[in-house]
């Protein structure tokens, strides 16, 4: 078994935003804390059996800060020696909460797809027509840096933001990594956003526009996540983006992740390209 040391646990479907091209939509209710801990134990066992000493669980959603037991789960993962990280839209995040995560979370990823309220409204990246402001983002990034947590900024590039330039944002927030995703369609999840697709050439040009940050940009064109993004949905199912679908390979409530992964067509080259540049923390 290759060293697949990052597991993305999509702990909730709930989100305060309603992005038109959202990839983070799954079936099922939020797990109870006991059910979630069982999943964490299963992941810990997979890391142990494969002698993975730098295993990381990335909490995602939906919006993971809406999962009511998130902090307990972060503590629990830490107690098992597992590094944790989180990807959030940041809207509900506060400096106090970030400080409470000091020493427990290695990376906070904040997704920012636009700084224009008009574009954010078109994307659905807003709550009651309000989206996170640059001032709020700066406040959050300051707290993240003060707590010695790595900051990552994720941006999905589509027809709705292709003409924007994020350089000023990146200079202000000083992220350690920037992840740029070419918007892609998942069958049955976000097909209605086909009209917002961009070509690979357009995506490359967007990346080039930000070449000042080349050393910290991880570009994810369409297809890069196929067979390389290991995810568990709120129901505990292991799923893989496979041929434009979310394919299910088993449920961690009834099967061990170690056994499930023996039958999953993972692409280690794509996995390594993404996470080696991201760093091992
Ligand atoms: S913020 Fe993320 S999880 Fe929420 S709707 Fe947008 S893409 Fe989906």
DSSP labels, 97-130: HHHHTTTTEEEEEEE---S-HHHHHHHT-SBTTB
> What integer pLDDT is reported at residue 1 of this predicted model?
55
Distance 55 CA to ligand 1 centre (A): 25
Span of 48-57, 187-196, 209-218 with lowest mean pLDDT: 187-196
pLDDT exceeds cutoff 60 at 92: yes
Q: What is the mean pLDDT of residues 247-269?
A: 95
With cut-offs at 50, 70 and 90, classify the pLDDT of residue 17: very high
> What integer pLDDT is reported at residue 279 of this predicted model?
60
Gap between the Cα atoms of 152 and 168, Å rounded: 15
Q: What is the mean pLDDT of residues 74-96?
A: 97
> What integer pLDDT is reported at residue 185 of this predicted model?
87
Q: What is the mean pLDDT of residues 57-85?
A: 97
Walk across the sheet containing 237-242 and list its strands: 217-220, 177-182, 150-157, 105-111, 83-88, 56-60, 6-10, 231-232, 237-242, 245-251
Query: Which atom of ligand 1 is nearest the CA belonging to 62?
Result: 3
Comparing 26 with 57, the larger pLDDT belongs to: 57
Rounded to a whole number of angstroms, the CA Rg of the chain reads 18
> What integer pLDDT is reported at residue 196 of this predicted model?
95
Q: What is the mean pLDDT of residues 211-228?
A: 93
> What integer pLDDT is reported at residue 66 of this predicted model?
97
> What integer pLDDT is reported at residue 281 of this predicted model?
47
DSSP state, 276? H
Q: What is the mean pLDDT of residues 124-137?
A: 93
Q: How large is the angle between the packed helices 70-79 and 33-49, nearest 10 degrees?
A: 30
Task: Select from 156, 160, 145, 146 the least CA-distant residue to 182.
Answer: 156
Gap between the Cα atoms of 127 and 94, Å rounded: 16
Length of the chain, in residues: 281
15 lines ligand 1 (CB under 6 A): yes
Nearest Cα residue to atom 3 of ligand 1:
62
Gap between the Cα atoms of 150 and 130, Å rounded: 26
76 lines ligand 1 (CB under 6 A): no
With cut-offs at 50, 70 and 90, classify the pLDDT of residue 46: very high
Q: Could you give the C-alpha distances from 150 to 146, 210, 242, 278, 279, in angstroms and in order? A: 10, 20, 30, 10, 10
- Domains annotated for the chain, with CATH where assigned, are 6-278 (3.20.20.70)
- H or E element that contains 165: none
Query: Which atom of ligand 1 is nearest the CA belonging to 60?
Result: 3
17 lines ligand 1 (CB under 6 A): yes
Residue 95 φ/ψ, nearest 5 degrees = -60, -35
Report the chain's terminal Cα–Cα distance, integer Å.
21
pLDDT exceeds cutoff 90 at 37: yes
Mean of per-residue pLDDT scores for the chain: 94
Percent residues over pLDDT 90 in the chain: 85
- H or E element that contains 73: helix 70-79
Distance 89 CA to ligand 1 centre (A): 7
Residue 110 φ/ψ, nearest 5 degrees = -115, 130
> What integer pLDDT is reported at residue 273 of this predicted model?
84
DSSP state, 263? G
Residue 122, Ramachandran bin (φ over 0: left; ψ between -120 and 50: alpha; else beta):
alpha
With cut-offs at 50, 70 and 90, classify the pLDDT of residue 109: very high
Distance 49 CA to ligand 1 centre (A): 33
91 lines ligand 1 (CB under 6 A): no
pLDDT exceeds cutoff 80 at 252: yes
19 lines ligand 1 (CB under 6 A): yes
Query: Which atom of ligand 1 is nearest the CA belonging to 156?
Result: 7
């Amino acid at each position: 078994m290759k060293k697949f040391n990052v597991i993305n646990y999509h702990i909730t479907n709930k989100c305060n935003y309603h992005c038109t091209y959202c990839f983070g939509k799954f079936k099922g209710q939020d797990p109870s804390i006991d059910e979630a801990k069982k999943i964490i134990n299963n992941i810990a066992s997979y890391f142990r059996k494969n002698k993975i000493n730098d295993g990381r669980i990335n909490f995602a959603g939906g919006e993971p800060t809406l999962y009511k037991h998130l902090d307990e789960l972060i503590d629990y993962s830490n107690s098992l020696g597992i590094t944790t990280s989180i990807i959030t839209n940041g809207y509900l995040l506060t400096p106090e909460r970030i400080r409470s995560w000091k020493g427990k979370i290695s990376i906070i990823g904040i997704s920012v797809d636009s700084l224009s309220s008009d574009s954010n409204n078109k994307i659905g990246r807003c709550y009651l027509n309000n989206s996170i402001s640059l001032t709020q983002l700066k406040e959050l990034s300051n707290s993240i840096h003060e707590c010695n947590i790595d900051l990552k900024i994720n941006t999905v590039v589509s027809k709705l933001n292709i003409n924007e330039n994020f350089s000023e944002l990146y200079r202000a927030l000083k992220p350690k990594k920037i992840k740029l995703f070419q918007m892609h369609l998942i069958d049955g999840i976000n097909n209605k956003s086909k009209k917002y697709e961009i070509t690979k050439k357009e995506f490359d040009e967007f990346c080039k526009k930000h070449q000042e940050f080349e050393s910290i940009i991880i570009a994810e064109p369409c297809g890069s996540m196929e067979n390389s993004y290991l995810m568990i949905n709120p129901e505990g199912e292991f799923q893989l983006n496979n041929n434009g679908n979310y394919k299910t390979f088993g449920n961690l409530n009834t099967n061990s992740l170690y056994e499930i992964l023996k039958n999953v067509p993972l692409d280690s080259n794509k996995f390594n390209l993404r996470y080696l540049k991201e760093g091992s923390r």
